[in-house]
Chains A and B, each alone.
Chain A
Amino acid sequence: MLKALTVMLICGTAISVVAQSTSQYKVGAITAVQPHHDGAGSEPSADSYDVSLKVGDTTYVVLYTPPYGLQTVRYATGREFLVLVGEKTIAFNDSLGTSSELLIESQTRAETQSNPPNEAQSGSPTTVIPQPQTETKSTEIIGFAGVKDKTTGVLLIENGELCFANSATKSQIPAAAIEDVVTADDSQRAIRGTLGTLTMFAPYGSGRVLSMYRSKIDSLTIQYRDDDGGLHGAVFTLPPGTAETFKRALIKQGAHTTIPVPVDVGVDLSHQVMAKGKR
């Protein structure tokens, strides 16, 4: 009886594993990105891209249309993320957790594909440099040049520039022009010290209760100068917990800050300056 039960358990486990293997997420790597051509001899589209995605030993070419007209996908070669390969589509979750499905245009065995798609039409291979990028949903509260107040869009770092984009506008400033980048947590630490953290240790779980009332948004404040030396400021709200990461990415791109980030995050601290000037 015991042997029979063991055999049944083993068989059941094996069957469940086999049954789930077709719907498992796998690691996919972007190997090439080309502007999409609608037909032979047509002009390449600026809105859509043919993205070659290597999953296992198969390379899929999928059609990708970035939101808000962003072109960051051109620099995505080398990036890896989890994908779910279907019959006609490939599903993936972007950095914001939004699930998307891309139409599979073609698929080849990875060993047999020698050229990326459309290379013959374009004449020369596209030089793509892997570049780290950070983007997050954001609302511009006030101050960013060229953007109306209280505009919702995407805040990203692209080619060393801080960009804010939505379906209507796109505005950017060089990260190196940013004199100060401060998060809401930085401000609280500068004013209250570590008291905010200590409330977590309040008795009888009251610290946890207090945390229910804490802010459901994060903020990022920057100060930068225009070509004439005029001082600008801009305030963005971000999803909770993302402002610190964004600040680190900005500092890596050359932005300055008066409130240094912790040393253990591996950021080049040469751009950080201590409080100076009027602050």
Chain B
Amino acid sequence: MTKFFRILTCSCLFAVLAGPRLHAEGKESGKMKASALKVEMIQSEEFKLPAEFQVALYENLIQQVGKRAGFLHIYRDGDRNATNVADLVVLQGMVRRFKQGSEEERQVTTVAGATSITIHCRFTDSRAKYCWRRM
């Protein structure tokens, strides 16, 4: 099961890791200076995401951002300490597509039956202005 959690987070991780670089190349503004990032819980309005997937994505995202991204502080969803941080960027993840895998298929074919998730990632600053977003 952990293999699939790892696979599922790849798309989200890519977005996080590539985010600051891509943002610097954006047309809207120059380089953004943000010392802190708040990661919000992965949301799924159109699809009912299993709780274990939702939590695993959220926790893995926080771990990977803490390891690789250059933020001084990583705040969790609901953390009261994040309210007074000026240069805070909020990362929101929204599930746009969810295709649950099949254990039967995985056991029979060993190549098919993987779960796939498409997540829309959105970085916003304190003025709720979109910094960068990508599917």
Closest CB-CB distance, A165 to chain B, in whole Å? 20
Chain B 7-55 residues near chain A, CB threshold 8 A: 41, 43, 48, 50-52, 54-55
CA distance A214 to B60 in the complex (A): 26
Q: Is B70 an interface residue (CB 8 A)?
A: no
A233 near B58 with CB under 8 A, answer yes
Report whether B76 and A141 are in contact in the complex, using a CB–CB cutoff of 8 Å.
no
User: B interface vs A, CB < 8 Å?
Assistant: 1-2, 5, 41, 43, 48, 50-52, 54-56, 58-60, 63, 75-81, 100, 103-104, 107-108
When the two chains form their complex, are residues A184 and B52 in contact, meaning their CB atoms are under 8 A apart?
A: yes
Smallest Cβ distance from A224 to chain B, in angstroms?
Answer: 11
* Contact present for B75 and A230 (CB under 8 Å): yes
Q: How many A-B residue pairs have CB under 8 A?
A: 82
Interface pair A235/B75, CB less than 8 Å apart: no
Contact B107 A230 (CB under 8 A): no
- Is B79 a contact partner of A235 (Cβ separation < 8 A)? no
Beyond A142-B5, A182-B52, list 6 extra A-B contacts (CB 8 Å). Answer: A142-B2, A143-B59, A187-B51, A213-B103, A231-B77, A235-B5
> What residue in chain A is nearest B80 (Cβ atoms)?
A229
The CA of A101 and the CA of B104, in the complex, are separated in Å by 41
B1-A191 in contact (CB<8A): no
Contacts of B78 in A (CB 8 A): 225, 229-231
Please, how many residues of chain A have a CB less than 8 angstroms from a CB on the other chain? Answer: 33
Expressed in whole angstroms, the minimum distance between the Cβ of B41 and any Cβ of chain A is 6
By DSSP majority rule, is chain A's interface helix, strand, loop, or mixed? mixed
**Residue A109 at the chain B interface, CB threshold 8 Å:** no
Q: Name the A residues within 8 Å of B54 (CB-CB).
A: 233
A residues whose Cβ falls under 8 Å from a Cβ of B = 141-143, 150, 180, 182, 184, 186-188, 190-191, 210, 213-215, 217, 219, 221-223, 225-226, 228-235, 237, 278
Can you sample 25 A-B contacts with CB below 8 Å?
A141-B1, A141-B2, A141-B5, A142-B2, A142-B63, A184-B52, A187-B52, A188-B50, A191-B50, A210-B104, A213-B107, A217-B1, A221-B55, A228-B81, A229-B80, A230-B77, A230-B78, A230-B79, A233-B41, A233-B58, A234-B55, A235-B5, A235-B55, A235-B59, A278-B41
Task: Please tell me if the beta carbons of B52 and A235 are within 8 angstroms of each other in the complex.
Answer: yes
For A233, the chain B residues whose CB sits under 8 A away are: 41, 54-56, 58-59
Nearest CB of A to B67, in Å: 13
| Complex Cα spacing A11 to B92, Å | 79
Query: Residues of B contacting A210 with CB < 8 Å?
Result: 104
